Each structure stands twice: as structure tokens, then as C-alpha cells.
Chains A and B, each alone.
Chain A
Amino acid sequence: MNKILGITGLLAFVWLATWVFSDLLSDHQWSFLTAYNQENLLKRIALFAIISIGVAFVIITGGIDLSIGSVICLVGVGFPWLLMEKGWPLGLALPTVLLVAASIGLIHGLLITKLKLQPFVVTLCGLLIYRGISRGFTGDQTQGFQNSFKGLKLLATGKIPVTTEFGIPMPVVFMVIVAAAAAFFLNRTVYGRHLKALGNNEEAAKFSGINTDRMIISAYVICSSLAGLGGLLFVLDVNSAQPVDFGNFYELYAIAAAVLGGCSLRGGEGTILGVIIGTAVMRVLNNSINLIDWISKNIEFAVIGVVILVGVIVDELAKRMMARRRAELDKKKASVVSSRESGR
């Protein structure tokens, strides 16, 4: 719970700082706290949160998935390619791309559990393979919907109006559904408990009769499937995708958000709410770099890297301080007890 408070504080700080520097202290028109920008920010948070929740499952098992960005690309270019170039009907193309994404997770999971390959290696190869395949079958050509599928695109671009200027973007609805389902799975079902247990100690989980292989495979399937859903929404949002860089680095954004949100790469730890707030911090940062004039866009990665590092350091220091304070309190209690006893 402390972790969530801390990361929420960080979010508030970054958000306020962006507002101050981009709007209050700048001489041009407000650009951050506008209905248009906040709506867009919310949409990007939701899109990235969906893939971050996916990778959180894998991280909780103590694994990692580096292939997310390439899966997003495969789905992001594959979906319009099937519809526009190959002329597949929507009813066939949509389930196909989602099935492909899920199968990728299944293959990862099988290789990791049955062949005992390391998650890092398996998904690193995946990162290279799916990117290569995407560029291959599209001939490296940009894929898009042009002016077709207007209704479908509303899934990503539509919004539920709140005021005349501001509405809740549709991806937020998807995110809420995904997050609610994920949180329920993790906290309220036997499977979520099994997942956390094996993330902490796989051997003990196995000795307790948990089918650890099946749980790990499920985590990778969930991760790749959510990456697939993410890819679909990303491409519907921007209308077209270039195979060479669509979804580039997204796996790192997702992993960073999960870690910032309290997932331990050692496994067994993490909350969905934390992951969402972690994603929000990343997106607001990205937004602020775009809006604040005196931060060069070229140093975006450096800024994000530094903020995450500082966040993790502060978290670690806070943890130590708490432990020390507790120890001192105990010592005081103990000395009170012993002085009372010696006084008797």
C-alpha cells in the first residue's frame, strides 16, 4: 500500500511540474492542461497500461517478456495488411491476429517450461523474429486503413463525452475491463495465488501440488494476448503503421512501468493498480518532454531513465528507513521492558 502511495505521489509531482513549466511559466498558450491534451494523455496511458498489465503477469512469475514491441508490430501491421491487402473479412482477420498473438505466448511458455530455456533468451529471439517477419511480409511498406473501417477505428479513437470538450477515450474502457479482470484473477482466484506463490518459490509451489508449468504458460499467453490487443488498438488509433519501428521499445516502457509500479523482477510481487499508475507516470513524463520548450526531445530516453532510477532509489531508501525505524522502536520497547524488570 505504501508503494502505491509513493508512486501516486510521484505521479502528482510529475503532473504538477509539467503543468507549472508547460503552462503557468511559459509565455505561449496553455498546452498541457487542455481538454484535448488531457484526453489524449488518458488515451495513451490506457493503451500502454494494457500492455504493461500483460507483462506484469510474466514479471510476477519471475520471468520477463522482451518481445512485446514486436508482437505489437506484428499485429499492428498484420491486421491492416490482412484487411486491406489480402481483402480478408473483418470477422476472420480479427480473431486471426488475436490468435496469433496468443499462440506466440503459448510457444514462449512451452519453450520456457518444457525445454527450460531462459525467458530472457526466448523472448529476445521473439523480439527479433516477429519484427523480421512483420517487415518481411509487408515488404517494409506502411500498412493502414486509409478511410475504411471508420466504425472499427472508433474503438480506439472514440470517446464517451463528459463535457462538450472533454470525453473519456474508448481505450480507457478497455483498460478498466482488462485491469478489473486482471486484479480479480490475481487477488481473488486460486490461479492468481498460485502465480504469486510460484513467483516467490517455484520449487515449493511444485511440492505443494501446483501445476507450475501451466501457470507460467498462462502468464506468457496473457502477456502476448494483451500485447496483441494493444497492437490492435494502437494501429486503430493512429490509422497506419510502419513495420520498421511500430511498437519499438514498447516492451521496455511496459517493463519500466511495471517495475515503477511495484513489481519485483525477482518475481512474486506486484499489483495491477501500481502498474497502471506506473504507466501514467511514464506517459506524463513523455508528454512533458514534448510540451516543455527547454527540454530537448532528443533526450527523452535519458529523462525517463533518470526518473525511473530515482524512483527506484527513493523506494529502496524509504524501505531501509522504515526497517531502521522499526528496529529502533523495538529496541526502545525492549529496553523499557528490561528496565522495568530490573526495577522489580
Chain B
Amino acid sequence: MGSEQESVPLLIEVKGLGKSFPGVRALDCVDLKLNKGEVLAVIGENGAGKSTLMKILAGVQPPDQGEIRIDGKTLQAVSVEAALDQGVVLIHQELNLASNLSVGANVFLGREPGQWGVINSKKIRVESRKFLDMIGLDVDPDTLVGDMPIGRQQMVEIAKALSVNARVLIMDEPTSSLSLAETENLFKVIKDLRKRGVSIIYISHRLGEVKELADRVTVLRDGENAGELAKGEIDHDAMVKLMVGREVAQLYERSRHEIGEVALSVEGLRTAAHPAHKLSFEVRAGEIVGVAGLVGAGRTEMMETLFGVSEPLAGEIRVHGGEALELKSPRDAIEAGMALVPEDRKSQGLILDMNVRENMSLASLDRDKKIAGILNKKAEARISQTMIEQMRIKTPNDEQVVRFLSGGNQQKVVVGKWLAMEPKVLLLDEPTRGIDIGAKQEIYALMEDLAKKGVAILFVSSEMEEVLGVADRVLVMHEGGISGELSRGELCEEAVMQLATGVV
């Protein structure tokens, strides 16, 4: 017991925590310490057990083994109420706000002041103002949450947490859907909260953020403690090494691939979301083109319009110099040889309650059908077997329901579904969002491989490293238009950022 412990009082101590789910041991003898007023980053690949650990801390799930001590006292029953009593609040990746209610109503949701069930709206307005001021959120408490951008909605969550006297804020991937400016603002608030003595457990895949924010880093791997880094030891390589348990040689293995004729040509495309801008560009066979930009720059809208999800207002889209396509639905785009791996894997990419085989064959069933629409079960089994092997999907068999796969493996199923169609133009929207480093590497290798085979690849990414590392050429979008194009030689972070923020 050194003097260190006295100077930074220990707030939470977790010992020997264990938790199993059907088929997985999510946590095994995990220890964790959190001091007052520190930002502790918890990192690890997907499936490492971060989310489970956080859910247990916040009382959402009970542990199978182990104990949690708060202020030196062992927590008896694990429940959300008990956690809240101790000031432990979890802010979910997907925000938990009622978008049809006002900011003030959300801050006081479940604890509305008033008498006989009549809400005292004035008090809500005045009281919530206090907490909004605390984090510098300049918004009228009467504003509907649904009318606010996502970054500000998150601030409302934080205000809500402060209103219950949170001592510990657990944030799960808080920046995954924030713009750059919103992220910066969030960091400011986090640093400010730390000064006020609030402890923060910060979970993120973005190691750059961790480096900027964290006082200490705890790394989990396969449900166990993999190591810890003190403030001075936090750097990118050290974190990656602990996460994957080995040295990563190179995330992006670039190889030379032949660039061929124009595979996708887009001329004067106007999307329904940003009708004022005309988009024109080309992607050649064997070329990997990145689309960078801030959230809300219209990248996803462009991809979805190219794929026929929403109809283009004007413009000509051609594949391999053919006729201008009339895109009324994804079917038209698929027929022309396009494929889209959508931004939101769970709601757009997968039928979560169907198994791996059924998901994998969903796009190709129609092509492979026998007479009178009878399923070609042989072709279906062959496709799923090939893809599982080729993409090294970790699944017990092809009957596994995809809901129970890890994010990386789920994403591989989505990609595999389209590879079965042998597309000429592959559109990828945030292909590595929320998947672990190992799976990321495999997706990049796959993109390289496809490019070598002459597939034209257009991919949207919000991760700068990824754009810089993978793309042969980058289109940068800003407020619905293409603000610039950077060739391999011109590519650097500053250039992309300038175009993305419209500084030039």
C-alpha cells in the first residue's frame, strides 16, 4: 500500500469477473480498477468482452463469478438501480433517448418532477438548463431530441447522466457516428468532466482517440485481461500488440494491380438528398477508389443512389461503357453487375434471424433458381461453403444463425453474399466499421485481391488511416458535392481534411 493509493482514491475495483453465454465464455477472471477522476480506456478486438464487462458494471447483466467493489464496499446485488445508486451510468453506442420528447423531458425521463402525476414543466426547463450548461450545450430544453443532430443528442445523454449525479460514466464507442467537430466537442466535455472528478470508462476502436484521452488503458483479449498501459506507455503499436497478442506487421498490404478500362462512369448524377450538386467521376477496373468526407457529406446517399436504393434525379451511370442505366431498384444495379455492402450491417446487410447459408445465398438465389422458381439447394450449399472457406468465416457450420456471429464475421457474410454474384463494380460503405483489427486486415486483403481480378472498387470510409492506406485514388465529398480528388501521390491527411471541411 503506497502513498499513490491515497492520492488517487480507488473508486471501482473488479475482481475475478466471469460470465458465460450460450456457446461463449465472454469473460474469464477479469480484473479492473478505476480511480476517481480518471479516463480509463478499455480496448480490445470485437468479442474481447468489453461490452459484457460494461453491461455488468452498469448492472444490466449479472456476472456468474467475481465481485465488484465500489468505494471499497462489495456490491451485493447487481441491478441497474443499484448501479445508478452508486452513480454508475452507461451511455450506449445506440443512444437511449425518446426522440419524440423534448431535451428537458429526456433529461428527467422516469424522474419527472411534479405532483399527482402532473409534470412540472417549468421545473424541468429550469433544472435541465443547469445540466446542459455544465457541458456547454447551448440548446433550448424544449427542443425535440429527434430534431437535433446525433452529436448533440449524445450531449443530452451526458446531461441526463449528470442529473443523476453520475460519478462514473461508461461510454461505449461514443464517436462512432459523430462528425469531426462533434467529436472534438465531446473530448472537451470529457476532459472537463475529468476535472470535476467524474471518472470515465471509454471504449473505442479508434486508437487515436484513446491516445488523446486516456490516462490509463486496460486491454482485454478473448475475455481475459491482456495487459495495461500507464499514461506514458500509451502508443498505437503497444495497444495493437496487446489487443492482437502479436506484432502486427502491416495493416495494409498493398500490391500492384493492373488498372484497366473504365468500369463505372458517373456523369452529372444528382441525388435526392443533395439535388444541388452534380457528381461526376470514374472508377476503372482493378482500381480502388476511396470516398472520404465528414458524416453528412452525402457519401452514403451517393452510394445508395448508385445502387438504385433511391432513384437518381438526373445524370448518367454506366457500367463498362454500356447503356446509361435506369436505376429504379437495387435489382437494376445488380443486373448491371454492381453490388453494395451497405453502411448498416444489421439493418441493411443481414437477415439476422436467418442462418449463414440463407444470408449468403440471398442475392444469388434468383439467378440460380431451377424451373418454376424451385430453390437450387446444391448451388446454395456450394456458395456458402466456398465463401466460408475463402473468407475464413468463423462459424460452427452454415446453419448458424448470423445474429450469433461476431461483427467481423457478420460483415464477411455480407461481402460473401455479393462475391457470389461476381460483381464488376463493388461498392463498400464503411466496410470495416465496428469490426476488429484481424477482420479488418482480411477485408483489406480481400479488396486487394478483387482489384487484382479486375473488379472496380468504390469505398466510403470515415477512418483516415484506412482511406490513406487502401485507396489508389480518393474522392473527397463536402456538403453533398465532390470537393476534390486526390491521386496516390497527393494523398495525405491534411489534404483530405482540407477538402472535407471545405477549407480550400
Contact = CB atoms under 8 A, between A and B. Distances in A.
Interface of A: 188-191, 193-194, 196-197, 200-201, 203-211, 268, 323, 326-327, 330-331, 334, 337-338
A334 B350 CA distance: 30
B375 A190 contact: yes
Contact of A327 (B21, B372, B375): B21
Contacts of B348: 203-204, 207
Contacts of A337: 25
Interface stretch (B232-240, B327-335, B439-447): B327-335
Nearest to A342: B29
Interface in B254-310: 307, 309
Category for how many chain B residues contact A? 35 or more
Contacts, number: 86
B369 interface: yes
B373 interface: yes
Nearest to A264: B353
A334 B20 contact: yes
Contacts of B369: 189-190
Contact of A210 (B347, B362, B372): B362
A201 B346 CA distance: 9
B23 A204 contact: no
B83 interface: no
A330 B340 contact: no
For the residues of B in contact with A, the DSSP-based class is mixed
Residue of A201, A204, A337 ringed by the most chain B CB atoms within 10 A: A204
30 contacts: A189-B369, A189-B373, A190-B365, A190-B374, A191-B373, A193-B358, A194-B365, A197-B354, A197-B358, A200-B351, A200-B352, A200-B353, A200-B354, A203-B347, A204-B348, A207-B307, A207-B330, A207-B349, A208-B363, A208-B417, A268-B353, A323-B22, A327-B21, A330-B21, A330-B22, A330-B23, A330-B24, A331-B20, A338-B25, A338-B28
Contact of A204 (B22, B331, B350): B350
A197 B361 CA distance: 11
B365 A193 contact: yes
B140 interface: no
A326 B24 CA distance: 11
B192 interface: no
Contact of B375 (A189, A206, A208): A189
B493 interface: no
A200 B348 CA distance: 11
Given A189-B372, A190-B369, A209 B334 contact: yes
B22 A326 contact: yes
A319 B307 CA distance: 40
Interface in B1-58: 20-25, 28
Contact of B362 (A197, A203, A326, A334): A197
Contacts of B330: 206-209
Given A193-B365, A208-B362, A188 B374 contact: yes
Given A190-B373, A209-B334, A204 B20 contact: no
B342 interface: yes
Interface string B366-401: 100100111100000000000000000000000000
